[in-house]
Chains A and B, each alone.
Chain A
């Protein structure tokens, strides 16, 4: 089926734009960038058509990459229904965002560089989802991290942007360290990295032998996932990542890359199901992240920051689902979230574009009349994320809430409150941006059709994505035999209870920000302590700085730099060796007297020395 074409096409696009971008026109660059991703999407569609109904895993083996002792790792691309879903999301939404980006980035410097990076990201993301073993997944995993770094720091002349890029890269390093340890443990335990082999061996291991080691593997995988998918304690990089251009925030930091952790955990469902402690940890981390990020999102003023914390919160929701064993619900939310969060980000990008790069919502307001198309689509996105009945987000959130209700009732209520907060902060952003009076100084203008078009497509998907992609049903063959089949009864009362937080949140936001505009400030004043805490993101960045970053920096400066690097490596080795060679050379120089007879005497001394050595030690006979 030539699966390799799927990632190769964006790679070719990246190569063409990256190498020839200086000389080609923007039209050509856009055509290459969009074309390569669109072709990849079409190839995915064609492949899936041909492989229908894809009940079994389909593998293509290209070559053996590593053969070392008993361990063999091949470059294998595999496709099953989980991968198929991810492929559809990545290439489909990727195409839309590429089209949008041609409009959004049109006036920017380094247009071709942007698209080269973006296509390279697509390549690595597709490797990540297509990889048939942990190592290939890790290649993609690292590659998307690199592209994320490059794109966050796209405006590298801005200090905050390059700092944010570095922060994302370094924080992810911690997670990736956990992931690599997990892989080493998998190799040691199972002797393979291929998904089917590992999972089959894990299933075959008796519980008393396997429980400890599989729990360790799963917890280490979780460390990797918390880095990439922005969960506690490593979520701090994602809000800063908003320094990147908005299409990047939509594609990488909302729809695709950050969901890689959820994908990886679902892919490893067979391992996680054998490790109940790890599952519990995943659920608790997910839930805690969801709550924490949602509360921060309530008070942020930067429109992209609101959506960034919203993303962290929704990713927490997905991890909650994964931790509860409702993997398909997690993936379901991943897909619908990809639709509506990409829509929200791109819509926010359109707002920012309209307001001439103003991101502070306090300087917006009343934009409903000025940019009606953007308003329409953003409203749909907000309804979808709030879980308004029959929108896409409603289906997936219901599934997750149902799973939570099934396992721990307290988790259900925490998730319920979080859903209410989600609705509140999203509609807060809508009301602040589009209602009331315009408070800025720019002249807002509607964005071009290359931006509005993709927004409408995403809006349609956000509305109907829940029906037309019934993910839990699609994924049944993937998790059959791994996750116990349990029928979750959805009674009418449950459904109404699950829907209510969204409605209540929207209503409260309407009361606070539209009906009684002064109310927000009075609430802020009466709870100023809480407000300060939330506004400053619980001071987590400051705590990390004080407890981790500064001590490490100080140790690096005073010990690693001054003593190890300058003292031992520079003075000890580098200068030591060169100085030694210099001194030895000046000794040898004295032999060079220039007198022939002197040289001859040295020759005689040498011959005598060699001959006597031969006489004493017997020579080579």
Chain B
């Protein structure tokens, strides 16, 4: 029964390249949209993480596709940078919240002009 449903060929047949890339694109677009349309700083922050991971996904996909490790190495770099960015970003958010008592991103416009 289960065998009928998932024959060995099923596991050998990989998901086509385009599938991964489409997923990556969808994730990235969600990230962009979230970044643009949500006002909460924490949500915007998560949107950035989402975009980074969407990019990571396509790195790894291409790495697998071409049989080279370069993409994976890049994705490690992205992770490291994302971790650092998360630490710094959260710290900034914390400080901003302390000074302005707000998490609405539109309230922060002191860079105007």
- A residues near B (Cβ < 8 Å) are 589, 592-597, 600-601, 604
Question: Quick check: B105 and A592 within 8 Å, CB to CB?
Answer: no
Contact among B32, B35, B44, B113 with A594 in the assembled complex (CB-CB below 8 Å): B113
Question: Quick check: A595 and B109 within 8 Å, CB to CB?
Answer: yes
Question: Quick check: A593 and B112 within 8 Å, CB to CB?
Answer: yes
CB closest chain-A residue, reference B111: A594
Chain A residues near B36 (CB, 8 Å)?
A: 597, 600-601, 604
Q: How far is the CA of A81 from the CA of B96 in the complex (A)?
A: 91
Secondary structure type dominating chain A contacts: helix
Q: How far is the CA of A589 from the CA of B113 in the complex (A)?
A: 6
Q: How far is the CA of A601 from the CA of B105 in the complex (A)?
A: 14
| Interface residue? B108 (CB, 8 A) | yes
Q: How far is the CA of A595 from the CA of B112 in the complex (A)?
A: 7
Known: A595-B106, A596-B44. 12 other contacts (CB 8 A): A592-B111, A592-B113, A593-B109, A594-B109, A594-B111, A594-B113, A595-B112, A597-B105, A597-B106, A600-B36, A601-B36, A604-B32
Shortest distance from the beta carbon of A590 to any chain B beta carbon, whole Å = 9
Question: Quick check: A596 and B105 within 8 Å, CB to CB?
Answer: yes
Chain A residues near B106 (CB, 8 Å)?
A: 595, 597
Q: How far is the CA of A597 from the CA of B109 in the complex (A)?
A: 10
| Interface residue? B110 (CB, 8 A) | yes
Chain B residues near A595 (CB, 8 Å)?
A: 105-106, 108-109, 112
- Summed over the interface, the residue pairs from A and B with CB atoms below 8 Å come to a total of 30
CB closest chain-A residue, reference B35: A600
23 A-B residue contacts at CB 8 Å?
Answer: A592-B111, A592-B113, A593-B109, A593-B112, A594-B108, A594-B109, A594-B110, A594-B111, A594-B112, A594-B113, A595-B105, A595-B106, A595-B108, A595-B109, A596-B44, A596-B105, A597-B35, A597-B36, A597-B106, A600-B36, A601-B36, A604-B32, A604-B36
Chain A residues near B44 (CB, 8 Å)?
A: 596-597
Shortest distance from the beta carbon of B49 to any chain A beta carbon, whole Å = 15
- B residues near A (Cβ < 8 Å) are 32, 35-36, 44, 105-106, 108-113
Question: Quick check: A592 and B35 within 8 Å, CB to CB?
Answer: no
CB closest chain-A residue, reference B108: A596
Chain A residues near B109 (CB, 8 Å)?
A: 593-595
Shortest distance from the beta carbon of B38 to any chain A beta carbon, whole Å = 9
Q: How far is the CA of A600 from the CA of B51 in the complex (A)?
A: 13
Chain B residues near A592 (CB, 8 Å)?
A: 111-113
Chain A residues near B111 (CB, 8 Å)?
A: 592, 594
Most buried by B among A589, A593, A595: A595
Chain B residues near A601 (CB, 8 Å)?
A: 36
Q: How far is the CA of A589 from the CA of B109 in the complex (A)?
A: 14
Chain A residues near B32 (CB, 8 Å)?
A: 604
Shortest distance from the beta carbon of B81 to any chain A beta carbon, whole Å = 18
Shortest distance from the beta carbon of B58 to any chain A beta carbon, whole Å = 15
Chain A residues near B110 (CB, 8 Å)?
A: 594
CB closest chain-A residue, reference B113: A592
Q: How far is the CA of A601 from the CA of B44 in the complex (A)?
A: 13
Chain A residues near B113 (CB, 8 Å)?
A: 589, 592, 594
Q: How far is the CA of A604 from the CA of B112 in the complex (A)?
A: 20
Q: How far is the CA of A589 from the CA of B35 in the complex (A)?
A: 23
Shortest distance from the beta carbon of A392 to any chain B beta carbon, whole Å = 85
Q: How far is the CA of A592 from the CA of B113 in the complex (A)?
A: 5
Q: How far is the CA of A600 from the CA of B48 in the complex (A)?
A: 11
Shortest distance from the beta carbon of A586 to any chain B beta carbon, whole Å = 11
CB closest chain-B residue, reference A598: B109
Q: How far is the CA of A593 from the CA of B32 in the complex (A)?
A: 20
Q: How far is the CA of A594 from the CA of B105 in the complex (A)?
A: 11
Chain A residues near B112 (CB, 8 Å)?
A: 592-595
CB closest chain-B residue, reference A607: B32
Shortest distance from the beta carbon of B28 to any chain A beta carbon, whole Å = 11
Shortest distance from the beta carbon of B11 to any chain A beta carbon, whole Å = 36
Shortest distance from the beta carbon of A516 to any chain B beta carbon, whole Å = 95
Q: How far is the CA of A597 from the CA of B35 in the complex (A)?
A: 7
Shortest distance from the beta carbon of A575 to any chain B beta carbon, whole Å = 25
Shortest distance from the beta carbon of A601 to any chain B beta carbon, whole Å = 6
Shortest distance from the beta carbon of B22 to any chain A beta carbon, whole Å = 16
CB closest chain-A residue, reference B109: A594
CB closest chain-B residue, reference A590: B113
Q: How far is the CA of A596 from the CA of B108 in the complex (A)?
A: 8
Task: Identify the 8 closest CB pairs spanning chains A and B, nearest first.
Answer: A594-B112, A594-B109, A594-B111, A595-B109, A592-B113, A600-B35, A596-B105, A600-B36
Q: How far is the CA of A595 from the CA of B105 in the complex (A)?
A: 8
Q: How far is the CA of A601 from the CA of B108 in the complex (A)?
A: 16
Q: How far is the CA of A69 from the CA of B25 in the complex (A)?
A: 62
CB closest chain-A residue, reference B32: A604
Shortest distance from the beta carbon of B89 to any chain A beta carbon, whole Å = 12
Q: How far is the CA of A600 from the CA of B106 in the complex (A)?
A: 13
Shortest distance from the beta carbon of A239 to any chain B beta carbon, whole Å = 67
Chain B residues near A597 (CB, 8 Å)?
A: 35-36, 44, 105-106
Shortest distance from the beta carbon of B43 to any chain A beta carbon, whole Å = 12
Chain B residues near A596 (CB, 8 Å)?
A: 44, 105, 108
Q: How far is the CA of A597 from the CA of B41 in the complex (A)?
A: 11
Q: How far is the CA of A407 from the CA of B37 in the complex (A)?
A: 105
CB closest chain-B residue, reference A589: B113
Shortest distance from the beta carbon of A585 to any chain B beta carbon, whole Å = 11
Shortest distance from the beta carbon of A53 to any chain B beta carbon, whole Å = 85
Shortest distance from the beta carbon of A224 to any chain B beta carbon, whole Å = 63
Most buried by B among A593, A594, A604: A594
CB closest chain-B residue, reference A596: B105
Chain B residues near A593 (CB, 8 Å)?
A: 109, 112
Q: How far is the CA of A597 from the CA of B112 in the complex (A)?
A: 13
Q: How far is the CA of A594 from the CA of B35 in the complex (A)?
A: 16
Q: How far is the CA of A352 from the CA of B24 in the complex (A)?
A: 100
CB closest chain-B residue, reference A604: B32
Shortest distance from the beta carbon of B23 to any chain A beta carbon, whole Å = 19
Q: How far is the CA of A597 from the CA of B105 in the complex (A)?
A: 8
Chain A residues near B108 (CB, 8 Å)?
A: 594-596
Q: How far is the CA of A604 from the CA of B109 in the complex (A)?
A: 19
CB closest chain-A residue, reference B38: A597
CB closest chain-A residue, reference B37: A597
